[in-house]
Amino acid sequence: MSAVDVGIGLLGYGTVGSSVHRLLVESGDEIERATGHRLRVVKALIRDKRKERPFPAGDGVLTGDFAELRDDPRITVVAEVMGGLDPAGGYVRELLRAGKPVVSANKQLVAREGSELFAIASEAGVQLRFEASVCAAIPVVKVLRESLVVSNVHRVLGIVNGTTNFILSRMEAGGSYADALAEAQALGYAEVYPNDDVTGADAAAKMAILATVAFGSRVGLGDVECRGITELEPAHVSAAAELGMAVKLVGIATLADGAVDVRVQPAFVDRAHALATVDGAFNAVMLQGDSIREITLEGPGAGGIETASAVVADLVSVVGTAGTGFLQNDACWRELPRLDRGAWRSPFYLHLEVADRPGVLAHVTSRLAANEISVAQLVQHLREGEATLDLILHEAHAGDVHEAAAQMATFPEVLRRPFLAPVITERPL
């Protein structure tokens, strides 16, 4: 039986877009054997035709005119791999309204405008898929939407930014933040301007998407409490090692008592926990639910070919199905309230730098006790009239812990602002 040609359009032809084209060419036989379709890139929208491309596009493929791609009757499905909100968002809307399914790798677009885009797709009767927007080659969206559809997932833990994980891995090995960032940039793991990575904005967009899919309720970027790694110091990384933990930028999405909490922040992860061993630019997502207990997916979370593999997988899924269907529609089917951020519970790590004088430790522990917080572990280091206190606190409400830390910051014997991070462990403290 002869293969059915399927025309593909690409919005963008940079690292990811050219990698998509390369995979479609080099793996065309495998895709045809599996699906009966031969996927061919017909048009790719670019800004500069003179720019050198990682993979040759072929004659007549590159265009600077969006209308050429939108109106080409040979194009069956389009992959959006250009990034950003504008003009990508407008292009995707036009394509969906024109009846062309879209596959997107754009986390910011899906996180910020997913509700509107899915409404347009549904009205037009076409698919919108977005696996590549979260963890590149890790198929976590597909697992959540298909394999775990009745598993009642109530917690998602994720290392979802490879750049920050690479930096923290290097810092754990003794490197400085500046040197680790420079190495990440040299290796292509970090952009020249890595603000979205190091501030946690990139991870926040991904966790908003994962929480939306996992809990079936829209989670916007404004619902995600976010802290990046810019406040981390070598002292914190050293303290984690001494306490038998590793520092990771972790996304935590929780469904508790019918309310949703989503946050991205540096966390102290117990060495016995699966996330502690995720090294370098790798990502990992841990899913916890009633009928599955726990599933961890791990793999490369960055890179052109890795992201392209997820885009191609979505393209294959689109051409292999008809209509929108349950698995392609908007994942949201209910509206859940947000958990008060202060009501979220976790064990915490607290770092204090104080004057070395009698009564300081008693003052600190009494303030914790006044906020109904108890200490599970304490490590103290002395140096020239000062002391560093590293405390692991038993599980408590985040609001109480932050209030206690704010009160301690006013103590005359506390020399610098306290540093707090949640602790992730499966062991009792």
Residue 26, judged by CB atoms within 10 A of its CB (0-12, 13-18, 19+), counts as exposed
| Rounded Cα distance, 336 and 255, in Å | 9
pLDDT at residue number 236: 96
CATH architecture classification, 341-424: 2-Layer Sandwich (3.30)
pLDDT band at 323 (very low <50, low <70, confident <90, very high): low
* Confidence check: pLDDT of 201 > 70: yes
Is residue 336 within 8 Å of 215, Cβ to Cβ? yes
CA angle 280, 282, 288 (to 5 degrees): 130
| Rounded Cα distance, 268 and 393, in Å | 12
pLDDT at residue number 49: 79
Q: Using alpha carbons, list the distances in angstroms from residue 90 to 116, 120, 224.
A: 11, 12, 25
Helix ranges (H only) for 9-161 are 15-26, 28-35, 66-70, 88-97, 107-124, 132-135, 140-142
Known catalytic residue at 206: yes
Residue 384, judged by CB atoms within 10 A of its CB (0-12, 13-18, 19+), counts as exposed
Token readout for 190 is 């970090």
- What are the boundaries of each domain within the chain? 4-136+319-328, 140-300, 341-424
Kindly report the average pLDDT of the chain as a whole number: 93
| Rounded Cα distance, 335 and 168, in Å | 36
* Confidence check: pLDDT of 267 > 60: yes
- State the residue for tokens 């084209």: 21
Q: How many CB atoms lie within 10 A of CB 218?
A: 19
Q: Using alpha carbons, list the distances in angstroms from residue 402 to 32, 46, 361.
A: 56, 48, 18
pLDDT band at 151 (very low <50, low <70, confident <90, very high): confident
Bridge partners (DSSP) of residue 135 are none
* Confidence check: pLDDT of 327 > 60: no
Rama region for 280: left / alpha / beta (φ>0; ψ in -120 to 50; rest): left
Bridge partners (DSSP) of residue 7 are 40, 75
pLDDT band at 137 (very low <50, low <70, confident <90, very high): confident
* Confidence check: pLDDT of 54 > 90: no
Helix ranges (H only) for 154-233 are 162-172, 177-186, 195-198, 201-215
Q: Please provide residue 363's backbone torsions phi and psi, each rounded to the nearest 5 degrees.
A: -65, -45
HSE-up of 178 (CA within 13 Å, CB side)? 0
Catalytic-role residue among 100, 142, 206, 248: 206
| Rounded Cα distance, 351 and 138, in Å | 34
Bridge partners (DSSP) of residue 233 are none
* Confidence check: pLDDT of 98 > 90: yes
Helix (H) or strand (E) holding 362: helix 360-370
Chain center to CA of 70: 30
Whole-structure pTM value: 0.93
Q: How many CB atoms lie within 10 A of CB 393?
A: 24
CATH dotted code for 140-300: 3.30.360.10
* Confidence check: pLDDT of 328 > 70: no
Q: How many CB atoms lie within 10 A of CB 192?
A: 5
pLDDT at residue number 322: 65
Helix (H) or strand (E) holding 396: strand 386-397
**Which of the 8 DSSP states describes residue 151?**
S
* Confidence check: pLDDT of 171 > 90: yes
pLDDT at residue number 115: 93
Higher pLDDT, 191 or 393: 393
pLDDT at residue number 357: 92
Q: Which of 169-183, 257-271, 311-325 has the lowest mean pLDDT?
A: 311-325
**Which of the 8 DSSP states describes residue 301?**
-
pLDDT band at 293 (very low <50, low <70, confident <90, very high): confident
Token readout for 34 is 């599996």
* Confidence check: pLDDT of 305 > 90: no
CA angle 374, 380, 385 (to 5 degrees): 125
Computed over its alpha carbons, how large is the radius of gyration of the chain?
A: 24
Chain center to CA of 270: 21
CA torsion 282→181→189→274, rounded to 10°?
0
| Rounded Cα distance, 328 and 314, in Å | 10
Closest CA to 274 of 141, 161, 159, 422: 159
Share of the chain above pLDDT 90, in %: 81
**Sign of the Cα pseudo-torsion (298, 180, 111, 304, in order):** negative
* Confidence check: pLDDT of 1 > 60: no
Q: Which of these CATH numbers, 3.30.565.10, 3.40.190.10, 3.90.1300.10, 3.40.50.720, describes 4-136+319-328?
A: 3.40.50.720
Q: Which residues, including other chains, have CB under 8 Å from residue 94's CB and lie 6 or more apart?
A: 66, 70
pLDDT band at 148 (very low <50, low <70, confident <90, very high): confident
pLDDT at residue number 393: 98
